[in-house]
Amino acid sequence: MILNEMGLIKFVEGDTQILEGVSVIETPGHTGHHQSALIESGGEKALFLGDLIPTATHIPYPYIMGYDLFPLTTLTTKKKILGRAYEEKWLLIFQHDPKVRMGYLKEIKGQFAVEALKEEDE
């Protein structure tokens, strides 16, 4: 790892503030040490979900990718993160979704769904 030897990489564990307004939070399941980036500005928060919830269609709890290393951990993490994101009105950013880049959670009949931002909203 040449970058590490050059001092250009800093590994962090757990929930860690990287700099003011930017932190990572533990979101294990896809891999054991998966983290998601949480950005805070002006009293608002946005979460880059990474591979925890790669697309808006993966929002329902049982929709877990077949190649997650720890699917039961993914389920537990999703419940925790989605509950918090809904309560705190986080903007969710989907890394792999070709149609829904970001949106907010809404609740429909006790289930979470994503209300996507339209291009002009972004």
The pLDDT value given to residue 115: 96
Residue 51 lies in a domain: yes
Number of domains in the chain: 1
CB atoms under 10 Å from CB of 5, counted, come to 8
Considering the domain boundaries, does residue 54 fall inside one? yes
- Give a yes or no: residue 9 inside a domain: no
DSSP string covering the chain = -HHHHTT------SSEEEETTEEEEE-TTSSTT-EEEEEEETTEEEEE-TTSS-SGGG-STT---TT-S-HHHHHHHHHHHHHHHHHHTPEEE-SS-SS--EEEEEEETTEEEEEEPPGGG-
Torsion sign, CA atoms 93, 68, 62, 27: negative
What CA–CA distance (Å, rounded) separates 79 from 86? 11
Domain carrying residue 90: 14-121
CA-based R_g, the chain, Å: 15
**Tens of each residue's pLDDT in the chain, 122 residues:** 688 889 888 889 999 999 999 999 999 999 999 999 999 999 999 999 999 999 999 999 999 999 999 999 999 999 999 999 999 999 999 989 999 999 999 999 999 999 999 866 55
The CATH number linked to 23 is 3.60.15.10
